[in-house]
Chains A and B, each alone.
Chain A
Amino acid sequence: MTSSRPTLDEARSRLRELGYLDAGVDRLLFRPVFEWRGGAFLIAILLGAFSAALTALAAVESSEPGFALSAAASLSLLAHVFVADLLPAALLALALAAFASRARTPGVAATMAGMVSALLVFALWIGGTYSLGREVSARTLLWAIPIGVVALFLAAAVRLGFLALAFARAGLLPRRTLRRVFAAAAALGLLVAILLLFSRRERPPAPSPQPSPRSAPLVVLAMDGLDLDGAGKNGPAAEVLARGATGWWPAERGSPPEIWTTLATGVDPTMHRVRALTRVRPLGSPLSLRPPWGTGWYLRGIGPRLGLVANAPVSHSDRKSLDFWEVAASAGISSLSVGWWAAGPWPGAVVVENREVFARAADGPGADREALRVFESDSRKGFALSTVYLPGCDIAREDPAARTAAQAPIAELLRREVGRANAGEIVLVVLAADSHPRAGALGRMVVFDGSAAVDGRSDSGSRQKSIQVLPVDAAPSILARMGIPPARDLAGQPVASLFAPGTLETATVLSYGPRVAPPASTAPERDQEYLEKLRSLGYLQ
């Protein structure tokens, strides 16, 4: 016998040896729970917010490879999302706390709460990654390691906090740690995530398509807001366009970048991913980004209102599919693009971004003038494929006089280019769509291809053909007319009936591959200038 009083640890240890308590009782669990009680949930809140921030970074990096290589951008995004998600994490913790204090079987409930928390992390990762791109590269799966570890710690922390609160009320704790359950759940979550992401794996890089040479250069005129079904119905532009072979589609409302990128890529917005006019730049980040799923409430909502997140203009980094001039350039065809939305540098192509066009424009007609000045300048001659986007009529849509003024030079341009097409100098494709269409309005692809367009009469003497097509048919049609085999994974397909017989490439390729662009890295000041310009032109409120 000993007269000295045993310490608590000694007594606990001895009782375990005698078969009480349970040797499996997690001492690391018991002790902190007893010491911290409800405070243990703080760890879960912090870990939860960090998990959300990490999944956001993983999603952005998956969409814009190289983003995470910028320490400033990564830390900024992590910090913003972490701080923002402290609030929802705390609210979730409060809900769990209320549940914990009523749980009849706290051990099971705590384990379930931990597992649900971990699953939420995986859901944020998968959802965030999917929201920014439908295809996922293999390196994305490497994020499974840090995310899995964090999810595991979060599950343990949630369980700990849950038990602490359950104990605070009932004084009862489980005797088993259930670590194996968490490990198994984490492994299962990782497996599911990897399978899900792997099922949408990125297309492998594709060899450049080999074109069959075509003689005539191709010119694509893209005209926004001509209103050919309203005030411009009987205008000079409509009169000229009536002479071409027309493919039409019911116009749908959308942001200009979304609509025109669909026309330029031949895939739906769910694939090319250009949606809004703006992306975001968290304070302190040198790079802008598109908010992944689960972060929009802060990066697009509260953050800008608090001055913690700035808007940035839409960027070619958003686009996950190749524009038709990029495909052409990759195939060795000299290409020029002026003024298109979400356009950016591309090897082999001369690309003038629309921010450069807008920078020198004060209004709609001015924007068209600037675009045409660049397009028609001597240094831009000689391209096998050239295209220009003319936004003037769309910008001037609220001002009838300005809109009429914008249409005059467009009509003149059309007459000139149609004349060249009729002379066999070029093949002309006019894309006329409206970002703000009236009800019942149509979008159009009007083709002037040599003998197919002769003074408004076809060879058979009837009115020029007019058939329904899809917006996504425009890009593959243009590419096929350039002699480039259309890719079978495009949503659209060439519309042969609009072109001269036998001129479209009939061979196909499997895919053009993904468009992998570096993160958007323009200076914030330049972005702000561009945004101000978009605001002054009426694109942004």
Chain B
Amino acid sequence: MPVAVAVEFLHAASLVLDDLPSMDDAPRRRGLPALHLSWGVATAELASVSLLARAFEVVASDEALSRALASRILGELARAVGAEGCCAGQAADLAADPTRLALDDLESIHARKTGALFVAAVRGGALAGGAGERTLSALTLYARNLGLAFQITDDLLDHEGDPESMGKNPAREGHRANFASVLGTDSAHRLVDELLAAAVEALQPIGRRGEVLADLARVVRDRRS
């Protein structure tokens, strides 16, 4: 559970930063005004940093984890948000011409900005559960495919979704190139299916223990908001 809480804290922190005027400058998040619009940019930045610190704290203070294991999990989480992960992805996103992104660009941004956290979440949980290297390898493959499927679905919803149910402003996202616009919606839908298929198949080595994760993949496929 501490690893799940930590991942949620990291995710929340990344969303707060992502919405800032210096970043995506998003006015709404999950159907509500973005944090910086309600409490100010400084408070939002401090809240984000606090969430990051708290994420590492809950893992580090978990007595159920050995020191070595906690250290390894913290390393996974740190890489996901650091210069190889979310920060790098966000930097690339900001530097890119949003109207001229190609598939490789989108993937590169996604892999670090979103995908890295998917991988960290799955690997962190697996490490806490005592998974071996073979299981970790399978779960990493699962997380990579699931993460990209999630992102493409997200982009498809930006194109096709109901703004009210999504809690975002699709019109604002509309000018940015994304997977849906770069691939076309038909191809994007097809690739989501194939990525989810590959994700679930990657779970085969862990047998029935992977069923919950397979269900999660179905949730991504059926997601409407």
- Given known A-B contacts A172-B217, A173-B197, A5 and B141 have beta carbons under 8 A apart: no
Tell me if B218 counts as interface (CB < 8 A to partner A).
yes
Tell me if B37 counts as interface (CB < 8 A to partner A).
no
In whole angstroms, what is the CA distance A107 to B145 when docked? 17
Do the beta carbons of B204 and A107 come within 8 Å of each other? yes
Binding site for B on A (CB under 8 A): 1-3, 5-8, 11-12, 14-15, 18-22, 25, 30, 34, 104-105, 107-108, 167, 170-176
Which residues of B68-113 have CB atoms within 8 Å of chain A's CB atoms?
100-105, 107, 111
Which residues of B176-191 have CB atoms within 8 Å of chain A's CB atoms?
182-184, 186-187, 190-191
Closest to B207 in A: A105
Chain B residues near A20 (CB-CB < 8 A): 144-145, 148, 195, 198
Do the beta carbons of A7 and B187 come within 8 Å of each other? yes
- Given known A-B contacts A6-B182, A20-B144, A108-B204, A171 and B218 have beta carbons under 8 A apart: yes
Tell me if B162 counts as interface (CB < 8 A to partner A).
no
Do the beta carbons of A22 and B198 come within 8 Å of each other? yes
Tell me if B194 counts as interface (CB < 8 A to partner A).
yes
Do the beta carbons of B102 and A1 come within 8 Å of each other? yes
Do the beta carbons of A30 and B194 come within 8 Å of each other? yes
Selected A-B contacts with CB under 8 Å, 24 pairs: A1-B100, A5-B182, A6-B182, A8-B183, A8-B186, A11-B103, A15-B148, A21-B198, A22-B198, A22-B201, A25-B198, A34-B190, A34-B193, A104-B214, A105-B204, A105-B214, A171-B197, A173-B193, A173-B194, A173-B198, A173-B201, A174-B197, A174-B200, A174-B204
Do the beta carbons of A172 and B145 come within 8 Å of each other? no
In whole angstroms, what is the CA distance A14 to B107 when docked? 10
Do the beta carbons of B221 and A171 come within 8 Å of each other? yes
Chain B residues near A25 (CB-CB < 8 A): 194, 198
Tell me if B211 counts as interface (CB < 8 A to partner A).
yes
Tell me if B202 counts as interface (CB < 8 A to partner A).
yes
Tell me if B26 counts as interface (CB < 8 A to partner A).
no
Do the beta carbons of A14 and B103 come within 8 Å of each other? yes
Closest to B186 in A: A8
Do the beta carbons of A171 and B193 come within 8 Å of each other? yes
In whole angstroms, what is the CA distance A30 to B102 when docked? 25
Do the beta carbons of A12 and B201 come within 8 Å of each other? no
B165 to chain A, nearest CB (A): 21
Tell me if B196 counts as interface (CB < 8 A to partner A).
yes
Closest to A7 in B: B187
* A interface, over-half SS: loop
A101 to chain B, nearest CB (A): 13
In whole angstroms, what is the CA distance A161 to B217 when docked? 22
Q: Which 6 A-B pairs have the closest CB atoms?
A: A173-B197, A175-B201, A174-B201, A8-B187, A172-B200, A1-B102
In whole angstroms, what is the CA distance A30 to B191 when docked? 11
In whole angstroms, what is the CA distance A12 to B191 when docked? 7
- Given known A-B contacts A15-B148, A171-B218, A107 and B201 have beta carbons under 8 A apart: yes
Binding site for A on B (CB under 8 A): 100-105, 107, 111, 141, 144-145, 148, 182-184, 186-187, 190-191, 193-198, 200-202, 204, 207-208, 211, 214, 217-218, 221
* B interface, over-half SS: helix
- Most chain-A Cβ atoms within 10 A of its Cβ — which of B101, B198, B208? B198
Chain A residues near B101 (CB-CB < 8 A): 1
In whole angstroms, what is the CA distance A22 to B148 when docked? 13
- Given known A-B contacts A1-B101, A20-B148, A175-B202, A8 and B197 have beta carbons under 8 A apart: no
- Most chain-B Cβ atoms within 10 A of its Cβ — which of A15, A34, A107, A171? A171
In whole angstroms, what is the CA distance A2 to B145 when docked? 24
- Most chain-B Cβ atoms within 10 A of its Cβ — which of A34, A107, A172? A172
Do the beta carbons of B191 and A175 come within 8 Å of each other? no
Chain B residues near A22 (CB-CB < 8 A): 141, 198, 201-202
Do the beta carbons of A18 and B196 come within 8 Å of each other? no
Chain B residues near A105 (CB-CB < 8 A): 204, 207-208, 211, 214
In whole angstroms, what is the CA distance A172 to B193 when docked? 7
Chain A residues near B141 (CB-CB < 8 A): 22
Chain A residues near B221 (CB-CB < 8 A): 171
Closest to B222 in A: A171
In whole angstroms, what is the CA distance A6 to B177 when docked? 14
Chain A residues near B208 (CB-CB < 8 A): 104-105
Given A1-B100, A11-B103, A174-B200: 12 more A-B contacts, CB < 8 Å: A6-B182, A12-B191, A14-B107, A15-B107, A21-B145, A21-B198, A167-B193, A172-B196, A172-B200, A173-B193, A173-B197, A175-B201
Do the beta carbons of B182 and A176 come within 8 Å of each other? no
In whole angstroms, what is the CA distance A34 to B191 when docked? 11
Closest to B111 in A: A18
B19 to chain A, nearest CB (A): 27
B140 to chain A, nearest CB (A): 10
Do the beta carbons of A21 and B195 come within 8 Å of each other? yes
Chain B residues near A8 (CB-CB < 8 A): 183, 186-187, 190-191
In whole angstroms, what is the CA distance A22 to B187 when docked? 17
Chain B residues near A18 (CB-CB < 8 A): 104, 107, 111
Do the beta carbons of A14 and B197 come within 8 Å of each other? no
Do the beta carbons of B103 and A6 come within 8 Å of each other? yes
B176 to chain A, nearest CB (A): 14
Chain B residues near A7 (CB-CB < 8 A): 187
Do the beta carbons of B100 and A3 come within 8 Å of each other? yes
A483 to chain B, nearest CB (A): 72
In whole angstroms, what is the CA distance A338 to B128 when docked? 88
B109 to chain A, nearest CB (A): 12
Closest to A30 in B: B194
- Given known A-B contacts A5-B182, A18-B107, A104-B211, A170 and B191 have beta carbons under 8 A apart: no
Do the beta carbons of A167 and B197 come within 8 Å of each other? yes
